[in-house]
Amino acid sequence: MMIDVKPFNVLFLCTHNSARSILAEALLNHLGNGRFKAYSAGSSPQENQLPNPMAIEILDKAGISTTGLHSKSWDDFAAPNAPQMDLIITVCDNAAGEVCPYWPGQPATAHWGYADPSTVTGGEELKREAFKQTLHLIRKRLEILVNLPAASLNHLTIEKTARALSKD
C-alpha cells in the first residue's frame, strides 16, 4: 500500500526575492524529488519586481526549471490561505534582521547567508560567475537537506540540521 506523504514545505526569504531566494526555490524543487516543496519571497520586493535575468539564465543552463518563478512578498505566505511552511530559511542578512510576519504553524527557522550576486560589479562574465558560485553554495547545503532520512523531517531535527548547515 502506497502512503501519500505531504511534501515538506520550505520558504526561502530575501529582501527583493530576485536572486538568492529564487535560486534556492528552483534548486530545492529540482533536487527535492517531491519530498520538498520550495517557495520564495521577499521582505520588500519592488513593485512589478521580476527575478534577476542572470538568475534565470544560470538556472536554465544548469537544467533547472524556471517555470512559475516570480518575485513575491512574504506577506503572501502569512495569509490564511497560504501553504503552511515547515521550514523558513533567510538567505540574506537584511531579511534575517527584519521583523518577520507571523508564520502559521510555527515553522523551524534558519539563516543561510550568501553574498548578493546581483551586486557584483564588472563585466558580464564576472557577474555570471557570481551567480554560478551562489547556486553552487546553495546546492551544497540543499543536497544535505534533501538526503535526510524521512524520519528526520520533524521540527526539531530539521531546525537543528538547517542551523548547523549555516556554519558551513
Nearest-angstrom CA–CA distance, 25 and 17: 10
pLDDT by residue for the chain (168 residues), tens digit each?
444 578 999 999 998 899 999 999 999 999 998 999 999 999 888 778 889 999 999 999 999 999 999 999 988 888 888 999 999 999 986 655 556 666 777 888 888 989 999 999 989 999 999 999 999 999 999 999 999 887 777 776 777 888 888 876
The single-letter code of the amino acid at 13 is L
In the chain the domains, ranked by start, together with CATH numbers, are: 9-155 (3.40.50.2300)
Rounded to two decimals, the pTM is: 0.90
What's phi and psi for 150, nearest 5 deg? -55, -35
User: From start to end of the chain, where are the E strands?
Assistant: 8-14, 36-42, 87-90, 108-111
